[in-house]
Amino acid sequence: MVVTTDLGNTNTMKFLCSYGGKIVPRNTDGKLRYVGGDTRVLALDRSLSFSEVMIKLGELCGSIPVKLRCQLPNEDLDALVSIKSDEDLVNVIEEYDRASKATSNTLKIRSFLSPSSSSKSVKRISPLQSSDTSSIGDDGSFSAIGSSSPPLTGKTVARHHCCVQQISEPPVPYPTVHYYYQNPSNHQIVYYVAHHQGNNTSSNNNRVQY
């Protein structure tokens, strides 16, 4: 399934990005194909630099930094070109511009993304992200529509698509302190029990003798 994520720019270049899968030969004829993973269309402004494009692509697949390889028009998957600089990016865009003019169709840059050895996981771009809504119930509970997160309890404040939650701390139980002394005359041990509640301390007058 192909999902289109358009950033709303007028002068755009479109990448048909696949990630999370692998390139394997087809059983019937041995021709390479990409299986598994996800495929999305990402439209980016042509004025973006190579580093900015790589950040957007990394956010799309949830991994930064990311490796970018592109399939040139009329080429097979065994001839992918690694894009590592602004010059590489300009060259592949020009290749697709020429192919688009020849076919009178706007071609999407066929791209394959893979995490690098130093990649870190990031939040993926989701087409449904802008449509997610949240609500706060009368009892202060928080619920999100379109989210798999469990409901939160406590006082919740939502602003700018974020949720700040204040969780009430449970009352801290104060310890019960035992005091005792030994009567040297009859060798009896007398225990006194003191209960601490906040800043108040009450003593139990009942003594327990042993």
Q: Is residue 20 part of a domain?
A: yes
Q: Is residue 157 part of a domain?
A: no
Record the tokens describing residue 163, joined without a space.
């949720």
Write out pLDDT tens, residues 178-193. 445 555 565 555 544 5
CATH of the domain at 71: 3.10.20.90
Annotate the chain with three-state secondary structure: CEEEEECCCCCEEEEEEEEEEEEEECCCCCCEEEEEEEEEEEEEECCCCHHHHHHHHHHHHCEEEEEEEEECCCCCHHHCEECCCHHHHHHHHHHHHHHHHHHCCCCCEEEEEEEEEEEEECCCCCCCHHHCEEEECCCCCEEEECCCCCCECCEEEEECCEEEEECCCCCCCCCEEEEEEECCCCCCEEEEEEEEECCEEEEEEEEEEC
Record the tokens describing residue 96, joined without a space.
């697709």
Please say if the pLDDT value at position 107 is more than 90.
yes
Q: Is residue 34 part of a domain?
A: yes
Q: Is residue 28 part of a domain?
A: yes
Domain that holds residue 98: 12-115
Q: Is residue 95 part of a domain?
A: yes
Write out pLDDT tens, residues 132-174. 333 334 444 434 444 444 444 444 434 444 444 444 444 555 5
Structurally, the chain folds into a number of domains equal to: 1
Q: Is residue 110 part of a domain?
A: yes
Q: Is residue 87 part of a domain?
A: yes
Least confident of 11-20, 34-43, 192-201: 192-201
Q: Is residue 47 part of a domain?
A: yes
Write out pLDDT tens, residues 50-80. 999 999 999 998 888 899 999 999 999 999 9
**What pLDDT sits at residue 182?**
55
